[in-house]
């Protein structure tokens, strides 16, 4: 079902559903690559930097209106000045929207508080029983880097039918065996077992055709619906509006999801592909 849904509408819906072949570019081959986790901001609490022009535009227009209505007589010079100020203020107000539409590749990374997904649980799972301690640290760091440098609400990496790491907001449907969430069987283990027994690895394999570095990007709820991933992937909440699935080696997959449509810019998709390539070469 997922295979047909993933391949059928690709040509007709190229903007919403694209399969990309990305080569991770690195002069050092398999060497380490830099992980940047810092962002420059103005440091104004509660105000995203990209909204500053809009705020300044509103202030400018407010002062312009105050000046206009407090003037007893408006001559030609003042009228021309007010017209120019009106154009500039309106441009500032529209600038964030214009930037998000025509310059999406430089779109800002939203804060963690803006990535919440309804009807989900926050999970941090590591396959401690499957992986050695050193590799666990590498998995934890790479999952953190993905969350920090993209707009992802969740990230996960699997190899074969086994879940290696999962971090972020996931739907926890419970298990077919009816195992409840208890202290002896916590949420992260429920997620891991659900991934295994519901055939999520097969769904991912059917969705992404071709060997690594094949990548599937679904940038809207409509695109996700067409591939039936909301029903086929037990962990995928309906509040997730963008999904990216990247092959990681021969048997691995990196899956990231976001709570907004068109959440991952080209730069972010290349970053995810680079992380997937790195995880695919890990000795687990």
Are the C-beta atoms of 258 and 252 separated by less than 8 Å? Answer: no
**pLDDT tens digit sequence for 186-200:** 888 889 988 998 999
How large is the average pLDDT for residues 206-212?
A: 82
Cα dist from 215 to 38, 156, 236, whole Å: 26, 15, 18
How large is the average pLDDT for residues 30-56?
A: 57
* Torsion angles phi and psi, residue 188, rounded to 5: -65, -35
Q: Is 110 exposed, middle or buried (0-12, 13-18, 19+ CB in 10 A)?
A: middle
**pLDDT tens digit sequence for 72-107:** 888 888 888 889 989 998 988 888 777 666 655 555
The whole-model pTM stands at 0.63
**pLDDT tens digit sequence for 234-267:** 999 999 999 999 999 889 999 999 999 989 988 8
Whether the per-residue pLDDT at 271 is higher than 80: the answer is: yes
Show Cβ contacts of residue 220 under 8 Å, excluding neighbours closer than 6 positions: 16, 241, 242, 261, 262
How large is the average pLDDT for residues 218-243?
A: 93
Show Cβ contacts of residue 78 under 8 Å, excluding neighbours closer than 6 positions: 71
Instruction: Output the average pLDDT for the chain.
Output: 79
How large is the average pLDDT for residues 39-48?
A: 55
């Amino acid at each position: 079902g997922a295979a047909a849904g993933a391949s059928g509408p690709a040509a007709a819906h190229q903007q919403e559903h694209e399969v990309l072949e990305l080569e991770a570019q690195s002069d050092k081959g398999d060497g380490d690559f830099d992980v940047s986790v810092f962002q420059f901001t103005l440091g104004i609490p509660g105000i995203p930097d990209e909204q500053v022009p809009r705020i300044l535009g509103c202030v400018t227009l407010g002062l312009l209106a105050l000046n206009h209505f407090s003037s007893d007589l408006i001559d030609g010079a003042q009228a021309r000045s007010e017209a120019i100020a009106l154009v500039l203020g309106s441009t500032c107000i529209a600038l964030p929207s214009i930037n998000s539409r025509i310059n999406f590749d430089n779109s800002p990374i939203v804060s963690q508080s803006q990535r919440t997904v309804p009807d989900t649980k926050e999970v941090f799972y590591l396959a401690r029983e499957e992986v050695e301690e050193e590799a666990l640290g590498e998995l934890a760091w790479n999952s953190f880097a993905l969350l920090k440098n993209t707009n992802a609400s969740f990230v996960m990496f699997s190899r074969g039918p086994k879940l290696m790491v999962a971090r972020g907001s996931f739907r926890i449907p419970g298990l077919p065996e009816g195992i409840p969430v208890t202290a002896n069987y916590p949420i992260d283990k429920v997620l891991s077992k659900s991934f295994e027994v519901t055939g999520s690895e097969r769904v991912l394999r059917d969705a992404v055709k071709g060997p690594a570095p094949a990548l599937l990007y679904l940038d809207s709820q409509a695109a996700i619906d067409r591939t039936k991933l909301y029903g086929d992937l037990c962990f995928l909440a309906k509040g997730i509006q963008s999904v990216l699935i990247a092959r990681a080696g021969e048997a691995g997959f990196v899956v990231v999801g976001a709570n907004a449509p068109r959440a991952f810019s080209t730069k972010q998709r290349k970053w995810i592909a680079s992380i997937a390539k790195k995880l695919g070469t890990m000795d687990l």
